[in-house]
Structure 1
């Protein structure tokens, strides 16, 4: 079994899911970048896409413009954090990657994780079950992880 690559507290995960639900309004996709100290690899905060690119959620699917990365990198520099993963919602139960997801990773660096939350994050008690976990391998290639791999886990603390 793999060692855990990333973790997030249950409290922060619930806050993230609530925020994704709020921003998506039950009718459109929403998403966020997950930030952590690179040595501990524990997610300590998130920043929603529309805070960085105010128009990113307007079409119903996520369209994140390149200028949105400028404030993201500034925040990371100031707080000495790194983007470790991104998360976005899909309508319905499907947590696989769309063609656009595969072709346009939010962070095109090998090892970056992309999480997909079903049902536009509107289901109560959305923990990791049924969340898609996809690792970018580089060169437009991806690996989908099983929840039991502990590639990403929710902790009590």
Structure 2
């Protein structure tokens, strides 16, 4: 999979629709769906599922050492934030940092659970910090998102936001 060939599943398309409708209900514009950030999102969820870098101290923004990227244990104090921010530049030609919100990636084995667009968005809406990213509130109020990528895979979902347009184009 390369950024140029990335596609959205039906459930991912539904998540795009729900997020854009939610933003619109607050008077916010739609965000172009980035090929590069979607590639990063899909790559991250595959890493989380296959290589399981999440542990008691490493949260769902962590990356394993089993891919063509720099690994990190992302902790609650955000000491490894640069590891997240740099992933779009590290994995694609996206020219700027990326900011991820993740759902469901907690290291538990939830074999009966599948992430859906509705459940993921409801989870983010119930988390003030994640909801602030989606709605450009608080520390994000002066940010104008120019790109967004997302993925849903098994028990997890994530959205990546970027402040610059994606040179690889939109989906």
TM-score for both structures, normalised by structure 2: 0.33
Answer 1 or 2: which has greater helix percent.
2
